[in-house]
Structure 1
Amino acid sequence: MTRTDPRGPQGDRLALLGVYLNDHLAGATFGTELARRLARSPVDAAAGETLKALSADIMADRAALLRIMKDLGIRARGYKAGAGWAAEKIGRLKNNRRLLSRSPLSPLLELEVLRLGVEGKAAGWRTLRELAEADDRLDAPRLDSLLKRAVHQVEILEDLRVQQAAKSFRTA
């Protein structure tokens, strides 16, 4: 027997959107922590400045997501954000054949993971942008701006990733 949401189709859609956005919040929390980590331990000064600016943008994007959730009346689930935070910390415990230092591959893998996360964030902004056509609680121009910033972040991360790949394998 299929269970239906007593709030009706509109309530069911909002509940599904709540799950979706809370999953994105977990990813945003993971991404924010990873971006901060990369900015704190850059391989060189030029990348460090770029990563600091990128980290600030990623933190602002997470705040924008929380604001959108509030505007939609969707409660942020702390356990999902906590899971994203914990996942980033656990991700540091990978076997890198070094006990007390970071592997030359660590920054490369972290840049790749962050790039994938930003691409997921862009997909989320695209989904919300599509929903904005029928929901005036969603600010379409703001979503366009967030999407444009995410696309730019992917480009920056790809440039850093290519540079880091050369460095990682040169020093491995």
Structure 2
Amino acid sequence: MATELLHTYMQDHHAGAAAGVDLFRRVAADHEDPETRAVVSRIGDETEEDLRTQEELMTLAGTSPSMLKDLPARAAEKLGQLKPNRRFAERSPLSDLLELEALTIAVRGKELGFRALLDIGDPRLPRPTLEALVQRAVEHGEQLEKLRLRCTDALREN
């Protein structure tokens, strides 16, 4: 039972990570600020590396990604673009803020997932690898928070 739960947990986090990579790619392509684009693009590349490492960990744990979970998660990310924002031909000033918040949530979920794998102490999962993944997620969160704070001006009344 515990093994089945671990497999499900890892597959669920993989699905979220796959959707997160798509979100990073879209935000990096759409954002107008060159610095934000560069940071988000780099974090997206590193998140894709983390996804490959996660797949290696899944193999070590005797499981693999589930297309039945990955595809709907990726589709949900695409559908998230269709939110009404009172603007039809241009991006809303809130788009940058909301997208950076979504990326921050994704990175926090990644961090929590890797922390949970650390907590269980499964001997099949190398502790140094998990510690490095947690640390990178923390760093990504800090970098995204700096970018997010720059976007809160959209909420100020002029």
TM over 0.5: yes
Question: Residue 114 of structure 1 corresponds to which residue in structure 2?
Answer: 103
Q: Which of 114, 120, 130 is matched with 1:131 structurally? A: 120
Question: Residue 70 of structure 1 corresponds to which residue in structure 2?
Answer: 59
Distance in 1 (CA, whole Å) between partners of 2:139 and 2:157 is 29
Moved >2 Å (runs of 4+): 168-172
Residue 37 (str. 1) matches residue 26 (str. 2): yes
Contact 1:66 1:76 in 2 (8 A): yes
User: Equivalences for 1:84-163 in 2 at 5 Å?
Assistant: 84-132=73-121, 135-163=122-150
How high is the TM-score relative to the length of structure 2? 0.94
How high is the TM-score relative to the length of structure 1? 0.87
Shift of 1:171: 9.6
Q: Which amino acid aligns with 2:135?
A: K
How many residues are aligned here?
A: 158
Higher-Rg structure is: 1
Q: Which of 146, 152, 157 is matched with 1:165 structurally? A: 152
Shift of 1:75: 2.4
Contact 1:108 1:165 in 2 (8 A): yes
SS of 1:98's equivalent? Answer: coil
Q: Which amino acid aligns with 2:125?
A: L
Q: Deviations over 1:76-95 (max 9, x none)?
A: 11011111110110000000
**Change in 2 beyond 3 A, CA 1:85/1:171:** farther
Contact 2:24 2:103 in 1 (8 A): yes
Q: Which of 10, 18, 30 is matched with 1:21 structurally? A: 10
Distance in 2 (CA, whole Å) between partners of 1:102 and 1:30 is 21
SS of 1:92's equivalent? Answer: helix
Q: Deviations over 1:51-73 (max 9, x none)?
A: 11111111111111111111111
Shift of 1:36: 0.6
Shift of 1:136: 2.0
Structure 2 unaligned segments of length 5 or more: list them: none
Q: Deviations over 1:80-118 (max 9, x none)?
A: 111111011000000011112221111111110110111
Q: Which amino acid aligns with 2:123?
A: D
Shift of 1:43: 2.4
Contact 2:15 2:65 in 1 (8 A): no
Q: Percent identity?
A: 38
SS of 1:138's equivalent? Answer: coil
Root mean square deviation, CA, Å: 1.6
